[in-house]
Structure 1
Amino acid sequence: MNVVFACLDSDTLGGVQQVTHTLAQGLARRGHEAHVIGLHRAEAPFRYVERPRYRSHLISRAPVGPESALARRRSRRRVRDLLGGMSPGYAVLTSPAVVSRLTELVPGHLRAIGQYHGSYEHASGCWHLGSIRKHYPALDQAVFLSEDDAWHFSEQALLPHAWALPNPLASWPDRVSELSAPRVLAVGRLEGVKRFDRLISAFARSGAPRPWELHLIGDGAELDRLRAHAAREGVADRVVFRGRVPARDLPAEYRAASLVALSSEHEGLPVVLLEAAAHGVPAVAFDVSGGVRSARPVLVPPGDVDALAERLGWLVGSERDRRRLGAAARERAEAFRLDRVLDRWEALFAHLER
C-alpha cells in the first residue's frame, strides 16, 4: 500500500520529524510505498535516515512563517498535484496545522489520518484542542500517542474514531549502558518549552558530587541564556553543552550515561525516554502527559524543581537502584520496538479497509 506522511517541515530537529522518518523507513522496508512531504524548508535540516527507502518531497523552499496569498495558492496546487498522482493508500497528516491546511486537498483515493504528537493536557491549554475539534472529525481516523490521550480526546473532542499508536524506536540496541559513568544526560532543542533551566537548577540542588556532570545534547536559541543560568547556579563547569549530535552517534551517548532527565513543560511521548529505556538507562521526568506516563520513568510533579533535584540525587547516589530501574525500563521498552509499532499501524490500515 501507499503511505504518505505530511509535515509542516520534515527535516527540522524534532520529535515529530524523527518519528515520521522512522515510520516511513520501517514501512518501506516492509514493502510499502512510502513518502514524506515537507510543506516548508527546514532552516537547519537534520538527517534522520542515512539510506532512505522512501521518497521525500518539498513543497515550498520558504521556511515556516507568514505566506503571501500567491505563495499559499502555489503550495496548495503543488500538494494537490502531488497527492493526485499517487497510488491509493493513506495520507497521514502529522499535526493540527497540517490537517487544517491539507484536509480538503487529500484526494478520494487516499484515506486521511490525523496524528497529534502532543498530549491532551497541552492541547487543552492552547489552540490545538479547538482545531482538533473542528477538523479531525472529518478525517477517516484520528491517532494519538497513548490510550489515556485517545480516551480524553474521544470524550472532550467528540472523536469516536480516536486510536492510540505510540512512537516507535528506530532501532533496538544490543548493548546497554553500564550505568557507572558520572553523567546525567538530556536531549532536546535548547528552547523554552524544554525548560532546561529547571533541569540545570535541579542538578545544582541534587547534591551530585564531582565528577558528576549534566550533558545537554541539542542546539537552539536558549544556549547563551542557559550558559548564564548554569553560572548563576554555580555549576558552569559541570554542565556540558554538546550541540547537535548525529542520529547515528546517539546510541553511544546513551551508553555513556547513567541517568536521563526530562524537564519539559509539555510533551507527547518523548522518543528520548524510549531510547534511554532501550539502552537500560533510568529516567526522571515531569509528569506532563499520558505519553510520558506510558514510558514509565520516575515521575515528579510538573515544574517541581526541588522534587526533580531530590530524585536526581537519589539515583546519582544509588547505582543499585539505577540498575534495577534501568533493567525494568529496557523490558518495558520492548513494546515500543519498531516492528511492534508497525504491526499496530498495519492493524489500523486493515481496520480502515473493513
Structure 2
Amino acid sequence: MSTGRDVFIVANSTDELGGVTGWMHRMAHLLQEQGHRVHTVGVHAAELTMALPEDPGYPVTALYPAHPPTPWTPKGVRDRLRIPARRREAARVARKRQAVERLSEIFRAARPGGVVIVTQVWAMEWVGEADTDGLTVIGMSHESYDYSRASHRYRWIKNHYADLERWLVLTEEDADTWAGDGMNNVGFMPNALASLPPVPSPRTGRSVASIGRLTDQKGIDMLLDAWALVAPERPDWTLDVYGAGEDEAALRAQCTGLGLDGSVRWRGRTDDVPGALARSSVFVQSSRGEGFPLALMEAMASGVPCAAFDCAPGVREIVRDGQDGLLAPAGDIDALADRLLRLTGNPRMRDAMGDRARTGVQRFSEAEIVRRWEELFALLER
C-alpha cells in the first residue's frame, strides 16, 4: 500500500519535445495513481515543445522562461576587464540564485519522506544548490555509459551524482560498467512501456517508419545513406520519417542529393505514434546513442518488427536480435541496409518477429516498473 509521498521530478525542461519529457509526464501520472503527490519541475521552458494537456493534474513549473545563459569564462586579463560581459555574468549569477531559491521553496513544502527524482544531469546543477534537507534525492541518466563517456556529461555525472543516495541508469549492463568506474551508488531502472495498442499493426503497408527528433544523436543522416542502398531494391516501399528538429533542412538536402525524394516522406512531428506505427510494417532506429528508447518499445508493442543500430545496452535489452527484431553493429550503414532488406523482403519473417516483439516487450509493463519504483522508495527510506 502506498504511503503517499511528495515526489518532485526535475528535468532540463517540462515541455521539450523528446523521450525524457514524455517519460517524466507518464511517470508523474503513474505515481499520482499510486497516491503520491507529484510536482514536475523544469529548469527552463522549451522552444520546440511537446503538446501537454492544459491541466495535467499536477503542478508543472519552469524556473526560467527560456534557456538560461551559459556561464562566462573570461579568456585572459583583457577579457576580465570587459564591463558589459561582467555585468551580464553578474545578472546570470543573480538570476540563478533566484531560480535555486524558487526550487528550494518548492522542496520545503514537502512532508517527511519526500523524494526528488532528477531525470537529467544538467538539471542536477540546480538541485545540487537547492535546499533538499530531509528529502531523498535520486539521480538518473537516460543515456548509455558509452554515450555519456564520450561527452561533457561524464564529468558532470562524476561531480554531481557520486554523493546521492541512489543514481539510476537504464540497464544492468550499464550499472555494472559505472560501478567499475567508481560509482558505488548506482542501480538500474528500465523505462516503462506506456501502453499496448489493442490491435497490432496489420503489417500490410509498404512503409518503414522512423520516429525521433531530427538531431545528430538520432542518426537520420546514416538512415538516409542506408535507405539509398535499400530503395533501388524495394521500389514499392517508402521511408516515413516522423520528427522535427534542428537538422531538418540539412537532412532534406541530403535526401535530395541521394535521389531519394520519391521514396522518403517527411511526416513532421506526430502526436499519434500508434497511428503512425499502425500504417507501418517495419520500424527503423538509426541512433548514434540511446538510453532505453521508448519509440523502439512502442513499435514492438504495435507488433512492428525493428531494425536498429546496436548502439547501447538498452537497445539490445529491448530487441532480442534474431528473435523479435534485427540489430546491426552501431554505425554500420551497410549492415543496417541489409537488415532493412531482410525485413522488407520477407513477410513471413516480419509477421513472426512482430508477433514475438509484441509479446516480449510486455516485460517492461507499467505495472512492473511502478512496483520497482515503490520498492526503491521503501528501501531508501529505511
TM-score by length of 2: 0.88
Q: How does 1:247-262 map to 2 (within 5 A)?
A: 249-262=272-285
Contact 2:18/2:50, CA 8 A, preserved across alignment = no
SS, match of residue 241 in structure 2:
strand
1:74 partnered with 2:74: no
Q: Which of the numbers 35, 41, 57 marks the counterpart of 2:61?
A: 57
Whole-angstrom CA distance in 1 between matches of 2:26 and 2:332 = 33
Query: Is the contact made by 2:193 and 2:362 (CA closer than 8 Å) also made in structure 1?
Result: no
Superposition deviation, residue 13 in structure 1: 0.6
Per-residue displacement from partner, 1:222-249 (whole Å, max 9, x unpaired)?
Answer: 1121111111222112111111111xx2
Instruction: Give the distance between the partners of 2:54 and 2:238, measured in 1 at CA.
Output: 31
Q: Tell me: CA distance 1:125–1:212, structure 2 relative to 1, closer, same or farther (3 Å).
A: same
2:147 alignment counterpart: 122
Root-mean-square deviation (CA, aligned residues, Å) is 1.5
Which residue is 1:241 aligned to?
266
CA distance in 2, matches of 1:340, 1:131: 31
Residue 305 of structure 1: aligned partner? 333
Unaligned stretches of 5+ residues in structure 1: none
Segment of structure 1 superposing worse, 199-208 or 272-281: 199-208
Partners of 1:222 and 1:305 lie apart in 2 by 19
1:1-354 alignment, distance < 5 Å: 1-48=5-52, 52-66=56-70, 68-88=92-112, 89-156=114-181, 158-206=182-230, 207-246=232-271, 249-296=272-319, 297-354=325-382
Q: Distance in 2 between matches of 1:315 and 1:336?
A: 24
Identity of matched residues, % = 33
Q: Does the aligned pair in 2 maintain the 1:183–1:214 contact within 8 Å?
A: yes
The count of aligned residue pairs is: 351
Give the secondary structure class of the aligned counterpart of 2:379.
Answer: helix
Q: 1:8, 1:64 within 8 Å by CA — same for their partners in 2?
A: no
* C-alpha distance in 1 between matches for 2:69 and 2:284: 32
Please list every run of 5 or more consecutive structure 2 residues that lacks an aligned counterpart in the other structure: 72-91, 320-324
1:307-344: CA deviations, max 9, x gaps?
10011011000011111111111122111221211111
Task: Describe the SS at the equivalent of 1:92.
Answer: strand
Specify whether residues 229 and 261 from structure 1 end up closer, same or farther in structure 2 by C-alpha distance, changes over 3 A only.
same
SS in 2 for 1:240: strand
What secondary structure does 2:288 align onto? Answer: coil
Question: SS of the counterpart of 1:96?
Answer: coil
Deviation at 1:211, TM superposition (A): 2.4
Distance 1:174 1:65, change over 3 A: farther
CA spacing shift, 1:54–1:172, aligned 2, 3 Å = farther
> Secondary structure at 1:152's aligned position in 2?
helix
Task: Quote the offset at 1:73 in angstroms.
Answer: 1.3
SS at match of 2:193: coil
Give the secondary structure class of the aligned counterpart of 1:34: strand
CA, structure 1 residues 315+205, in 2 after alignment: closer, same or farther (shift >3 Å)?
same
SS at match of 2:9: strand
Q: Describe the shift of the 1:320–1:10 C-alpha distance in structure 2 as closer, same or farther (beyond 3 A).
A: same
What's the secondary structure of 1:87's corresponding residue?
Answer: coil
Larger radius of gyration: 2
Q: 1:149 to 1:106 in 2, by over 3 A?
A: farther
Q: 1:209 and 1:196, CA in 2 relative to 1: closer, same or farther beyond 3 A?
A: same
The answer to whether the Cα contact below 8 Å between 1:121 and 1:289 also exists between their aligned partners in 2 is yes
Partner of 2:322: none
